[in-house]
Structure 1
Amino acid sequence: MPASYARPELLASPDWLAEHLGRPGIRAVDCRHRVDGSARQLYALGHIPGAVFVDWAHELVDGDDPLPYQLVGPDAFAAVMSRAGIGDGMTAVLYDDATSHYAARVWWSLQAYGFEGVRILDGGWTAWQASGRPISASGSGSEVEPATFTPRANPARLMSTGDVRALLGSRAVDLIDVRGPAEFHGQGGNALRLGHIPGAMNVPAALLTETGSQRFVSAERAAALFTDAGASRSRRAVTYDGAGIAAAKAAFVLNLLGYTDVAVYDAGWAEWGSRMDLPVDR
């Protein structure tokens, strides 16, 4: 596990998870995702023993919102958590097989509803398999007792388009675009308009994990990526990407580094880049 992070308790190593699996109040959560909907089948074929599967892209997303991947409301969110056996006072350990993009999205979703007991498995499913530890293939999955999850909305974690527009030009906020450089500079993308929000800095989320191991980069490397781009712990950080997934990963790393005021603009470029009334830079 990367050393020297200000908040290492946000991460779990395979060793830590193996030691704590099965203890009361610990719930491993499989957050893997496939666009074709096959992630549940992957879970059935093999997962961390005792882990529950959360189909976050459907269960934790508002299907009635025209924008992609917008967070579902509190009652629906609480119902999913309750069925998954994730309740008040527990610790959820999240993992995926995609450099923690999806695990971080679920982490941020839990944070948005006031749930603090969350860790991400460093290296995810890849690290667990590489450790040689047991894998369960329980077909339909692990049976868990429903839990009581009380949603407590945390508006400081979430920014709307109106919120971001009101912050343009503010010296108290760092707006961080975590897409790749080509999209940031308007040289690619699939939105109506190309470029970035005026005043934003570019820290690609892809640089925050190691390519091979899928573990998070060292604290020194992560801190340099943000500070070299111009970010400061003394200011509020607002991350965005296309639709709030990679942005959640960047927000997670900022929390690891000790940034205390971090929000995600989850509508991101999906909304900003589709509106002709909003300013765009390249």
Structure 2
Amino acid sequence: KNPLPRKVPNEALFSEKVGALGINNQTHVVVYDTPGLYSAARVWWLFKLYGYDNVSILNGGLKRWKQCEYPVTNQIVQRDPSDFKIIGKRDLLALQSEVLDVSQSDGEILDARTPGRYSGTEEDRYPGTRSGHIPGSHNLYWANLLDQETREFLPKEQLGKQFEMSGVNVSKPIILSCGSGLTACILALALDQLGHLNWKVYDGSWDEWGRDHTLPIDSAT
């Protein structure tokens, strides 16, 4: 069992939990969250990781839904359990060893954390974790990809400019990182929307890297 929180479940556990929600391999899954676009991207990525494409994101989430005055309910929907089969696993997950290799070469790593956490000027919120970032990585704070009022993704042209300003080369394979593997999935979703499909999410992210004192860090911007 991975000692770090919120890591990727194994295939059997993912299949069990998804099936318990009444989802089968013919279900169109629409994912949303309360803030607008946050943890929903992680769920989207997990389905993609396990080879399931019939999954969408409600852009702007519940926040935007309410702004548009669409109906809401407090009733909990109960569905009969179903059988969700994992057909195959995609190569969308980066492990620490691969990230280290990319960091020591000319590869691309993009960090979704705040500029302060990335640069090391802001103390990391995870106990026992060093401050700074993976050497060679670029920084694009995930919230910069969203309209701050609606919490929807920015238009594609503006999304592209955000990646361009980060300094990352989107024509090359990119490893996406953050604090715990959650907001890196927002970067993944944005790249997917822009048609850039050659990326992986570093699930351990800074929660893993920053705690391992054998790994190099950088605190320069």
Query: TM-score, normalising length from structure 2?
Result: 0.92
The answer to whether the Cα contact below 8 Å between 1:187 and 1:194 also exists between their aligned partners in 2 is: yes
C-alpha deviation, 1:228, in angstroms? 1.9
Secondary structure, in 3 states, of the residue corresponding to 1:260? Answer: coil
Where does residue 204 of structure 2 map in the other structure? 267
Q: How many residues align?
A: 216
The answer to whether the Cα contact below 8 Å between 1:175 and 1:199 also exists between their aligned partners in 2 is: yes
Greater mean deviation of Cα atoms: 254-263 or 223-232: 223-232
Which of 151, 154, 161 is 2:89 aligned to? Answer: 154
Secondary structure, in 3 states, of the residue corresponding to 1:239? Answer: strand
The answer to whether the Cα contact below 8 Å between 2:110 and 2:139 also exists between their aligned partners in 1 is: yes
RMSD: 1.5
Q: Distance in 2 between the 1:208 and 1:99 partners?
A: 12
Q: Distance in 1 between the 2:159 and 2:49 partners?
A: 23
Q: How does 1:183-198 map to 2 (within 5 A)?
A: 183-188=117-122, 189-190=124-125, 191-198=128-135
C-alpha deviation, 1:230, in angstroms? 2.1
Q: Distance in 2 between the 1:280 and 1:128 partners?
A: 41
C-alpha deviation, 1:131, in angstroms? 2.0
Write the letter of the residue equivalent to 1:146: P
Q: Distance in 1 between the 2:162 and 2:73 partners?
A: 38
Which of 41, 59, 83 is 1:104 aligned to? Answer: 41
Which of 137, 144, 147 is 1:200 aligned to? Answer: 137
Gaps of 5+ in 2: none
Q: Which string of whole-angstrom CA distances, capped at 9 and with x for unpartnered residues, describes residues 221-248 of structure 1?
A: 1101111222233211111111011111
Q: Does 1:276 align with 2:213?
A: yes
C-alpha deviation, 1:206, in angstroms? 1.2
Q: Distance in 2 between the 1:132 and 1:253 partners?
A: 26
The answer to whether the Cα contact below 8 Å between 1:223 and 1:257 also exists between their aligned partners in 2 is: yes
Which of 164, 178, 182 is 2:116 aligned to? Answer: 182
The answer to whether the Cα contact below 8 Å between 1:114 and 1:153 also exists between their aligned partners in 2 is: yes
Q: Does 1:134 align with 2:77?
A: no
Q: Does 1:119 align with 2:53?
A: no
Q: Does 1:164 align with 2:103?
A: no
Secondary structure, in 3 states, of the residue corresponding to 1:176? Answer: strand
The answer to whether the Cα contact below 8 Å between 2:180 and 2:203 also exists between their aligned partners in 1 is: yes
Moved over 4 A (4+): none
Where does residue 232 of structure 1 map in the other structure? 169
Q: Distance in 1 between the 2:39 and 2:157 partners?
A: 24
Secondary structure, in 3 states, of the residue corresponding to 1:263? Answer: strand
Q: Which string of whole-angstrom CA distances, capped at 9 and with x for unpartnered residues, describes residues 6-50 of structure 1?
A: xxxxxxxxxxxxxxxxxxxxxxxxxxxxxxxxxxxxxxxxxxxxx
The answer to whether the Cα contact below 8 Å between 1:255 and 1:262 also exists between their aligned partners in 2 is: no
Secondary structure, in 3 states, of the residue corresponding to 1:156? Answer: coil
Q: How does 1:219-258 map to 2 (within 5 A)?
A: 219-258=156-195
C-alpha deviation, 1:155, in angstroms? 4.4
Q: Distance in 1 between the 2:190 and 2:87 partners?
A: 23
Structure 1 residues 232 and 90 mapped into 2: Cα distance closer, same or farther (>3 Å)? farther
C-alpha deviation, 1:169, in angstroms? 3.3
Q: How does 1:32-51 map to 2 (within 5 A)?
A: none
